[in-house]
Chain A
Amino acid sequence: MYRYDQYDQAMVDTRVAEFRDQVERRLSGKLAEEHFRPLRLMNGLYLQLHAYMLRVAVPYGTLSGAQMHVLADIADKYDRGYGHFTTRQNIQYNWIKLEETPDLLADLAAVEMHAIQTSGNCIRNISSDQYAGAAADELIDPRPYAELLRQWSSFHPEFCTLPRKFKICVIASDTDRAAMKLHDIGIRIIRNDAGEIGAAFYVGGGMGRTPMIAPCIREFVPLDQLVTYSEACLRVYNRYGRRDNKYKARIKILVHELGAAEYTRQVEEEFAHLKTQGIEPPIAELERIKTYFADPAFDADASDAIDRSDALFARWVDRNTHPHKQKGYAIATISLKPVGGIPGDASAHQMHVMADLARDYSFDECRVTHAQNIVLAHVRKADLYALWQKLVAADLATANLDTIGDIIACPGLDYCSLANARSIPVAQKISRRFAESGKEDAIGELKLKISGCINACGHHHAGHIGILGVDRKGTENYQLLLGGCEGDDTSLGKITGPGFDEDGIVDAVEKATDVYLAQRQEGERFLDTYRRIGVDIFKEAIYG
Chain B
Amino acid sequence: MVESQYRFRDDEPVGDPAVTVDSFAEQSNASAVRIEPGDDARELLPYLEQLRLVEVNFPAFTDGRGYSAARVLREAGYTGELRAVGEVLVDQIAALRRCGFDSFAPDKPLDPADVDSAFARWPDVYQATTDGRVPIWSKRHG
- A contacts, CB < 8 Å to B: 5, 7-8, 10-11, 14, 17-18, 21-22, 25, 30-31, 35, 38-39, 121, 151-152, 154-163, 235, 238-239, 243, 273-274, 277-279, 281-282, 284-285, 288
Contacts and interface: CB of A to CB of B under 8 A. Distances in A.
B124 A11 contact: yes
Contacts of A282: 137, 141
Contacts of B137: 151, 281-282, 285
A285 B111 CA distance: 39
Contacts of A22: 91
A25 B141 CA distance: 38
Interface stretch (B9-17, B21-29, B56-64): B56-64
A160 B130 CA distance: 17
A121 B63 CA distance: 10
A158 B99 contact: yes
21 contacts: A10-B124, A11-B124, A14-B121, A25-B114, A30-B114, A38-B62, A121-B64, A157-B96, A157-B125, A157-B129, A158-B64, A158-B68, A161-B62, A161-B67, A163-B64, A239-B40, A239-B69, A277-B130, A281-B135, A281-B138, A284-B141
Interface in B71-92: 71, 75, 89, 91-92
B127 interface: yes
A290 to B, nearest CB: 14
B91 A285 contact: no
Task: Report the 10 A-B pairs with minimum CB-CB distance, sorted nearest first.
Answer: A161-B64, A157-B98, A281-B137, A157-B95, A7-B136, A285-B137, A279-B128, A158-B67, A151-B126, A239-B68
A507 B125 CA distance: 55
A25 B115 CA distance: 13
B65 A14 contact: no
Which of A14, A121, A161 has the most chain B CB within a 10 Å cutoff? A161
B29 to A, nearest CB: 28
Given A121-B62, A158-B71, A285 B127 contact: no
A159 B98 CA distance: 12
Interface in B105-142: 111, 114, 117, 121-130, 135-141
Which of A7, A38, A288 has the most chain B CB within a 10 Å cutoff? A7
A22 B75 CA distance: 32
Contacts of B98: 157
A323 to B, nearest CB: 36
A527 B68 CA distance: 44
A278 B125 CA distance: 15
Nearest to B87: A35
A239 B139 CA distance: 30
Contact of B63 (A154, A243, A273): A243
A162 B67 CA distance: 10
Nearest to A241: B65
A16 B127 CA distance: 20
B56 to A, nearest CB: 13
B126 A155 contact: yes
Nearest to B94: A157
A35 B91 CA distance: 9
B99 A157 contact: yes
B126 to A, nearest CB: 5
Interface string B33-67: 00001001000000000000000000001111101
Given A21-B117, A22-B91, A38-B62, A157 B67 contact: yes
Given A151-B136, A279-B127, A284-B141, A35 B89 contact: yes
B121 A17 contact: yes
Given A121-B62, A158-B71, A239-B68, A278 B124 contact: no
Contacts of A155: 95, 122, 125-126
Contacts of A17: 121
B126 A162 contact: no
A35 B61 CA distance: 9
Contact of B140 (A5, A39, A160): A5
A273 B68 contact: no
Nearest to A287: B141
A14 B137 CA distance: 18
Which of B89, B96, B98, B135 has the most chain A CB within a 10 Å cutoff? B135
B126 A152 contact: yes
